[in-house]
């Protein structure tokens, strides 16, 4: 295989992996970058490409970025509504001694 072709293929795979990482770990930033790229494409006369790049509308649904897929991220109450429960530490269980 040609060395230039091999480096190009590895670069494409690395770029795709990095894109997927950013989309998974930083969904808000990813949507902002995608929207900026779509607006730039539309302003330069590539309206169809810009519409295709436009990110889907956000919300508290499965696409909100929380990862649970429960569709209730927007409706949940704030953590301050729940009563505070202190952490109770228990001593570690000691192994039983065998009689010798």
pTM > 0.75: yes or no: no
- Asked if residue 94 belongs to a domain, the reply is no
For residue 33, give its domain range: 2-42
Q: Is the pLDDT of residue 74 over 60?
A: no
- Asked if residue 81 belongs to a domain, the reply is no
- pLDDT of 8: 95
Other CB atoms within a 10 A radius of the CB of residue 60 amount to 15
Q: Is the pLDDT of residue 69 over 90?
A: no
Q: What is the pLDDT of residues 6-64, one digit of tens each?
A: 999 999 999 999 999 999 999 999 999 999 999 999 999 999 999 998 888 755 555 55
- Asked if residue 33 belongs to a domain, the reply is yes
- pLDDT of 58: 55
Query: What's the number of CA atoms in the CB half-sphere (13 Å) around residue 71?
Result: 0
């Amino acid at each position: 295989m040609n060395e230039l072709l091999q480096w190009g293929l590895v670069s494409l795979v690395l770029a795709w992996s990095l894109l997927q990482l950013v989309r998974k770990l930083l969904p808000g930033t990813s949507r902002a970058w995608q929207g900026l790229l779509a607006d730039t494409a539309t302003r330069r006369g590539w309206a169809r490409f810009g519409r295709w790049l436009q990110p889907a509308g956000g919300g508290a649904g499965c696409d909100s970025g929380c990862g649970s897929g429960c569709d209730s991220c927007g409706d949940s109450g704030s953590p301050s509504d729940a009563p505070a429960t202190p952490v109770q530490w228990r001593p570690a269980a000691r192994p039983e001694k065998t009689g010798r």
